[in-house]
A and B are shown apart, each in its own frame.
Chain A
Amino acid sequence: MLRYLAPVVSLLLIALPLRAGAQVSSFALDNGMEVVVIEDHRAPVVVHMVWYRAGSADEPPGASGVAHFLEHLLFKGTENMAPGELSATVARNGGSDNAFTSYDYTAYYQRIAADRLPLMMKMEADRMVNLRLSETDVATERDVIIEERNQRVENDPSSLFREQKNAALFLNHRYGVPVIGWRHEMVALDQSKARAFYDRYYAPNNAILIVAGDVRPQEVRALAQQYYGPLPANPDLPARIRPQEPPQTAERRLVFRDARVAQPYVSRSYLAPERDSGAQETAAALTILAEILGGGTTSVMAEKLQFDSQTAVYTGAFYGGGALDKTSFDLVVVPAPGVSLQQAEDAMDAVLADFVKTGVDEAQLARIKMQVKAAEIYDRDNVERLANRYGRALTQGLTIADVQDWPQVLQAVTADDVMAAARAVLDRRQSVTGWLMSEEATQ
């Protein structure tokens, strides 16, 4: 009968102001492992995730891709489980599992019937400390990640272009190195490099457990203490300090040519501040700025470049504030036939200059805020997405309170805030402009 409790509880939450979302609670184990529980009792499902505060930007120089390689190797057995046994066990219980790696985190998850949670914890805790690898498995899996790079990057000129552009945007930070790794370093990855990364970062005091779905916090607490509680903290866990960007004082430009490009485009990335704990206002303004400039049919760039003139077939602006260190604010313009990349770029810059002069349309700002408000309702339909949101935040220097405050911070953004953020971030000296074009193109 549990599922009939949910509507009552949810109705109470809706009556609260904007902070109200799914029911979230948190606590920590004695060994330093943080635990977040997100309740959703509509279906008897649980998502069990362990996030490590270790991603590609934490890799040692020369070993790019090792965080992601290790993620693959964590499916290759422990002192207690044969290679592949964890995934096979999950499947045998009707669940599915996977993992993912980014600049700031590596995460492992299973989606399964809620009553299988203890087994998931047992296996995930085991591979946090008991990894055991064979040389054969390591060599074969290195071939797999090379094929993954082939599929994601080498076969796609846009991806190759983005790699070059990111490398140019970050002068000193590891965000300039691709998560999957540079190919020449990937082929040299081996067991010792993976093991070193594992020993350094895989420990309960560097991990966050997120359990979302048809569970109660008391029950999760008891299970977490039983399975993760006995794991020893790593006393030598290094402070998370990466090389930071120096002042950027020179605009960068690049042209990437590839015969496989059918549709040229111009894209610009500006170095931008990230969301910081307790100080998310600038990031909120940039989030809304991206919507205003390039969030779709009613955005400023679409208006000027796709409606008032037929300069572009597509325009967009993007800002991902989630990052431990500095991030980027990105613009893209895909020119219409007959429009050169130079003309497209000039038109984009004219739109930006005009926007900085004319300012924000208050009606557009109000519509965006209505959508921010509605997103809190829609988001509750997908508990896995909520779990990911908390996982990313907690591995990127934010707190649970920051996540819960975020909608309010967005609501509080004024037109003046947006313009101040725009003037600060739209600085060509802190930017890379890239042209993606075909080899035979004549621009």
Chain B
Amino acid sequence: MIRFVFALILVVVALPARAGVEIKQVTSPGGITAWLVEDHSIPFTALELRFRGGAVLDPEGKKGVASLMAALLEEGAGDMDARGFARAAEALATSFSYGASDDTISVSARFLSENRDAAVDLLRQSLVQPRFDDDAIERVRAQMLSNLRSDLKDPRAIAGRAFDARIFASHPYGQPVDGTVESVAALSRADLQQAHRTLLVRNRVFVGAAGDITAEELGVLLDQLLGDLPTGQATLPGPADLAFDGGVHVVDFPTPQSVVLFGQPGLGLDDPDFFPAFVLNHILGGGGFESRLMSEVREKRGLTYGIYTYLGDKDYADLWQGSVSSANDRVAEAVEVIRQQWAEAAENGVTAEELQDAITYLTGAYPLRFDGNGPIAKIIVGMQLQGFDREYVNTRNARIEAVTQADVARVARRLMDPALLTFVVVGQPQGLAAN
């Protein structure tokens, strides 16, 4: 058991050094590891599980099976049907939520200290012995189909699907996590059981826990909760080829405001240039009211309510993405301004003042995230998925502080490519020719 605490370097505006979380690594008697931040001030525990391998492992033609499987975990388990399971959770005042993304199956739970064992046993049944009753499958499938039909008429969903289909093409990322009306309609109970066996495997699980539980108690809990899961070796996909072409691609949809997604290739967390790129993104479009794009597109021109960019670090693709929405008769100007800003930053980098402001913000805001059991459990499970060690909480701010103006300029030149910056526009934009 090793102690790690924040060691903030004190600069002029540094935070007080008493910020601290201590991340413990816990290994259960059965060999399952977890990270824990112990805090006994409130008598409950937040628990986050992530199983690597989500919708990317959906078999050909069965897109949406991971998502429907995850949604069914709470719809009957052990000797309880869906309502029996829900009543049991209510009586314990515990809550569980289950979800699928491209890269993971996620399970979030919180339970009171006073009935922890019963709550964990209930959660265990949903993970180990889900029933996949026929009536539950049909009921939840109908909900999913309803959402899928709504997505077909929602400009934001249309944009997301069009962007992914264009950029990721034949990679599993190219298809929506929730599948299509056709694929979901065709899923069978056997498909769901197979997805459960493939995805909920103990050798691919990451665990973050925070709150009123000791390392010893967590160790016992891990074996109870996850010890009965099988191991699995489903082959994970390889890296995606990214089809950015620098074009503007319009999807005609009758709605007053165009929804725009844009992007270009990004870089991975393991790239030595990641931190300069992270700071650069913050200055360009990551930083709330202060970013260049927010200033140029919203504050100066009133073209949108919000514009954001982010470095998307998916398991098998690294993207630099952004989004904006503007009225159909103004969106062409928004796209033009984004392109100008992209070219400007690529050529000239950022100013010394912008860099200093970004570093101050990013390092100052970091410890403020660790402000509750719920957020802490999420952060520490995310760190494991991203491949960080526990030491990261100590070194992260120093790595950001080490970024120089020359680093940012070099990374901007290396990475930002206006010729690859690709736009997907859903709406009826004026003056934006599809190309």
| A interface, CB within 8 angstroms of B | 1-3, 6-7, 10-11, 14, 42-45, 75, 83-84, 87-88, 91-96, 111-115, 139-148, 150-151, 154-155, 213, 259-263, 296-298, 303, 306-307, 310, 313-314, 334, 336-337, 366-368, 370-371, 373-375, 377-378, 380-383
Closest Cβ of chain B to A113, distance in Å, is: 5
Q: How far is the CA of A377 from the CA of B44 in the complex (A)?
A: 7
Kindly report which residue of chain B lies nearest to residue A259, judged by CB atoms. B254
Q: Contact check, B93 vs A144: say whether CB atoms are below 8 A apart.
A: no
Which residues of B have CB within 8 Å of A297? 82-83, 86
Q: Contact check, B112 vs A374: say whether CB atoms are below 8 A apart.
A: yes
Which residues of A have CB within 8 Å of B90? 298, 367-368, 370-371
| B interface, CB within 8 angstroms of A | 13, 15-16, 18-20, 39-44, 46, 82-83, 86-87, 90-93, 110, 112, 138-139, 142-143, 145-147, 149-155, 254-257, 259, 287-290, 295, 298-306, 325-327, 330, 357, 360-361, 363-365, 367-368, 370-374
Q: How far is the CA of A297 from the CA of B80 in the complex (A)?
A: 13
Q: Contact check, B152 vs A94: say whether CB atoms are below 8 A apart.
A: no
Q: Contact check, A43 vs B93: say whether CB atoms are below 8 A apart.
A: no
Which residues of B have CB within 8 Å of A6? 41
Kindly report which residue of chain B lies nearest to residue A5, judged by CB atoms. B41
Q: Contact check, B368 vs A150: say whether CB atoms are below 8 A apart.
A: no
Q: Contact check, A263 vs B150: say whether CB atoms are below 8 A apart.
A: yes
Q: Contact check, A94 vs B303: say whether CB atoms are below 8 A apart.
A: no
Contact status of A143 and B303, CB under 8 A, knowing A91-B288, A94-B15, A381-B372: yes
Q: Contact check, A381 vs B374: say whether CB atoms are below 8 A apart.
A: yes
Q: How far is the CA of A1 from the CA of B287 in the complex (A)?
A: 33
Q: Contact check, A150 vs B373: say whether CB atoms are below 8 A apart.
A: no
Closest Cβ of chain B to A216, distance in Å, is: 15
Q: Contact check, A336 vs B142: say whether CB atoms are below 8 A apart.
A: yes
Q: How far is the CA of A141 from the CA of B330 in the complex (A)?
A: 15
Kindly report which residue of chain A lies nearest to residue B257, judged by CB atoms. A150
Q: Contact check, A144 vs B298: say whether CB atoms are below 8 A apart.
A: yes
Closest Cβ of chain B to A162, distance in Å, is: 16
Closest Cβ of chain A to B290, distance in Å, is: 5
- From A44, A366, A368, give the contact of B19 (CB < 8 A): A44
- Counting chain A CB atoms within 10 Å of each CB, the highest count among B19, B257, B290 belongs to B257
Number of A-B contacts (CB under 8 A): 199
Kindly report which residue of chain B lies nearest to residue A380, judged by CB atoms. B42
Would you mind naming 5 contact pairs between A and B with Cβ atoms under 8 Å apart?
A44-B18, A143-B301, A147-B326, A375-B93, A381-B42
Q: How far is the CA of A296 from the CA of B138 in the complex (A)?
A: 18
A-B interface, 6 closest residue pairs, ranked by CB to CB distance from nearest: A94-B364, A143-B302, A374-B93, A150-B257, A297-B86, A148-B305
- From B44, B303, B372, give the contact of A382 (CB < 8 A): B372
- From A93, A112, A303, A375, give the contact of B360 (CB < 8 A): A93
Q: Contact check, B302 vs A151: say whether CB atoms are below 8 A apart.
A: no
Q: Contact check, B373 vs A381: say whether CB atoms are below 8 A apart.
A: yes
Q: Contact check, A263 vs B146: say whether CB atoms are below 8 A apart.
A: yes
Q: Contact check, B365 vs A142: say whether CB atoms are below 8 A apart.
A: no
Contact status of A42 and B372, CB under 8 A, knowing A147-B327, A310-B139: yes
Kindly report which residue of chain A lies nearest to residue B304, judged by CB atoms. A147
Q: Contact check, A45 vs B371: say whether CB atoms are below 8 A apart.
A: yes
Which residues of A have CB within 8 Å of B301? 140, 143
Closest Cβ of chain A to B130, distance in Å, is: 15
Kindly report which residue of chain B lies nearest to residue A371, judged by CB atoms. B93
Q: How far is the CA of A385 from the CA of B43 in the complex (A)?
A: 18
Q: Contact check, A10 vs B303: say whether CB atoms are below 8 A apart.
A: no
Q: How far is the CA of A246 from the CA of B399 in the complex (A)?
A: 64
- From A7, A296, A368, give the contact of B40 (CB < 8 A): A7
Closest Cβ of chain A to B353, distance in Å, is: 10
Q: Contact check, A42 vs B39: say whether CB atoms are below 8 A apart.
A: yes
Closest Cβ of chain B to A374, distance in Å, is: 3
Beyond the given pairs A155-B259, A377-B44, 18 more chain A to chain B contacts, judged by CB atoms under 8 angstroms and listed by A's residue number, are: A10-B42, A43-B370, A43-B371, A91-B361, A93-B364, A96-B365, A113-B367, A147-B302, A147-B305, A150-B327, A260-B153, A262-B152, A262-B153, A313-B143, A314-B146, A334-B146, A370-B93, A378-B44
Which residues of B have CB within 8 Å of A381? 42, 44, 46, 372-374
Q: How far is the CA of A7 from the CA of B44 in the complex (A)?
A: 13
Which residues of A have CB within 8 Å of B325? 147, 150-151, 155
Which residues of B have CB within 8 Å of A263? 146-147, 149-150
Q: Contact check, B91 vs A147: say whether CB atoms are below 8 A apart.
A: no
Contact status of A94 and B299, CB under 8 A, knowing A84-B289, A147-B327, A155-B255: no
Q: How far is the CA of A307 from the CA of B76 in the complex (A)?
A: 13
Q: Contact check, A92 vs B360: say whether CB atoms are below 8 A apart.
A: yes
Q: How far is the CA of A33 from the CA of B364 in the complex (A)?
A: 30
Which residues of B have CB within 8 Å of A334? 146
Q: How far is the CA of A287 from the CA of B27 in the complex (A)?
A: 44
Q: Contact check, B304 vs A298: say whether CB atoms are below 8 A apart.
A: no
Closest Cβ of chain B to A101, distance in Å, is: 14
Q: How far is the CA of A63 from the CA of B303 in the complex (A)?
A: 23
Q: How far is the CA of A75 from the CA of B109 in the complex (A)?
A: 39
Q: Contact check, B365 vs A94: say whether CB atoms are below 8 A apart.
A: yes
Closest Cβ of chain B to A329, distance in Å, is: 22
Closest Cβ of chain A to B159, distance in Å, is: 11
Q: How far is the CA of A332 from the CA of B149 in the complex (A)?
A: 19
Closest Cβ of chain B to A74, distance in Å, is: 12
Q: Contact check, A94 vs B142: say whether CB atoms are below 8 A apart.
A: no
- From B259, B306, B368, give the contact of A113 (CB < 8 A): B368
Kindly report which residue of chain A lies nearest to residue B13, judged by CB atoms. A93
Q: How far is the CA of A261 from the CA of B147 in the complex (A)?
A: 12
Closest Cβ of chain A to B425, distance in Å, is: 13
Which residues of B have CB within 8 Å of A83? 299
Kindly report which residue of chain B lies nearest to residue A296, judged by CB atoms. B86
Q: How far is the CA of A93 from the CA of B325 in the complex (A)?
A: 30
Q: How far is the CA of A141 from the CA of B255 in the complex (A)?
A: 22
Closest Cβ of chain A to B255, distance in Å, is: 5
- Counting chain A CB atoms within 10 Å of each CB, the highest count among B87, B259, B289, B373 belongs to B289
Q: Contact check, B371 vs A378: say whether CB atoms are below 8 A apart.
A: no
Which residues of B have CB within 8 Å of A87? 288-290
Contact status of A92 and B40, CB under 8 A, knowing A151-B257, A259-B254, A381-B374: no
- From B39, B143, B299, give the contact of A140 (CB < 8 A): B299
Q: How far is the CA of A139 from the CA of B300 in the complex (A)?
A: 10
Q: Contact check, B364 vs A95: say whether CB atoms are below 8 A apart.
A: yes
Q: Contact check, B150 vs A262: say whether CB atoms are below 8 A apart.
A: yes
Which residues of A have CB within 8 Å of B143? 313-314
Which residues of A have CB within 8 Å of B16? 44, 113-115
Q: Contact check, B43 vs A14: say whether CB atoms are below 8 A apart.
A: yes
Which residues of B have CB within 8 Å of A306? 139
